[in-house]
Amino acid sequence: MVALDTLLDDVALEAVTAEDLGWRLRPWDGSETDLESADAVVHVRTRIDGRLIGRLKSCTVIGRFGTGLDSVDCQAAAAAGISVVSVRDYCTAELAAHTVGLALTLFLRLGPRHDNAAGQTLSWNRYIAANRRSGDTTALVIGYGAIGRRVTDALTGLGVRTMVTTRRAGAASDPRVEAVDLGTGLARADIIFIQRELSAATHGFFGAELLEHVRPHAILINTARKDLIDQAAVAAALRRGRLGGIGLDAKLNEDDPIAALLDHPRVLVTPHIGWYSERSLNELRRRTVANTISAYSSPLIRRQEQEI
């Protein structure tokens, strides 16, 4: 197994995991020969496009350190007979807590620009004048996977009226939440959580058209993938008061429209750290290697992964 790149410079944990399963893992030496001889590869940032896939002569499995597969041309991989695997649900608790934390920070008007000294001089009613009771708040969770369900658990526990948009049957049977269509949810929500997976169909789906349905001054939280939103449209909505705040967990490029708003008092961006704890990091490193080896060893797993 060749590691094209990894989460840390140290690959000892990955190597030990592979060895325990009868494999040998080594970092990529940068040569084409090393790629051609690899039975499987793992990666995190490397873009595995059709050109690189064409160099993987012996490879039958590509594993990714993470949940999303947007770094891989999955169609080209399938055409080459290579399955692609990732790791799901390794950071559910961490990311759900981070997601709700961003929302509460914006909702309660806390955060890194909070002025402690000024706060001590204000009367309590001036300090909290804009705050609302959680029980008077309505949230919309777009997506009801593992993270969406955990976010919903936290919101309902705080007394927040919670709506979800999903095709999953479980939402309709949960008495704590209301399953709604997207337009209805956007028109009623004070806080909007995006928890969908990124794909060609969902890329930039939250844009100008949906923003027209949003309740004025609603807060938008996206800890999934930044490309789920149309950044230009979202930034414009914030500037004109259509949105009351934006919380993102993403590494922004200098030319990203949201990057120009990092000094805005109602913008809170963390650098793609919501997934992290020491435990989730170690679990991700081990499970990526183990899942890749399992897919190599099991034709059934490989077929299932290709169908996802």
Distance CA 149, CA 105 (A): 20
Could you state, in order of their start, the residue ranges of all structural domains in the chain? 2-89+277-307, 92-270
At residue 83, the pLDDT reads: 94
CATH fold of 92-270 reads Rossmann fold (3.40.50)
Q: Report residue 232 CA to chain centroid gap.
A: 20
Instruction: Tell me which residue of 266, 263, 262 sits closest to 240, measured CA to CA.
Output: 266
What pairs with residue 194 in β-bridges?
142, 222
At residue 52, the pLDDT reads: 95
Token reading at 209: 């058209």
Instruction: Tell me which residue of 214, 25, 219 sits closest to 105, measured CA to CA.
Output: 219
CATH fold of 2-89+277-307 reads Rossmann fold (3.40.50)
| Residue found by looking up tokens 């002569």 in the block | 57
Most distant CA pair in the chain, distance: 70
Distance CA 222, CA 106 (A): 13
At residue 170, the pLDDT reads: 61
Element (H, E) at 191: strand 191-194
At residue 303, the pLDDT reads: 44
Query: H-type helices in 146-261, by residue range?
Result: 146-157, 169-172, 182-188, 208-211, 231-239
At residue 299, the pLDDT reads: 57
Task: Give the total residue count for the chain.
Answer: 308
- For residue range 58-99, what is the model confidence (pLDDT) as tens digits? 999 999 999 988 899 999 999 999 999 999 899 999 999 999
Tally of CB atoms within 10 A around 207 = 16
Q: Report residue 258 CA to chain centroid gap.
A: 17
Q: Confirm whether 2-89+277-307 and 92-270 share one CATH topology.
A: yes
Tally of CB atoms within 10 A around 15 = 18
Low-confidence stretches of the chain (pLDDT < 50) are: 300-308
Assess contact for 39 and 62: CB atoms under 8 A.
no
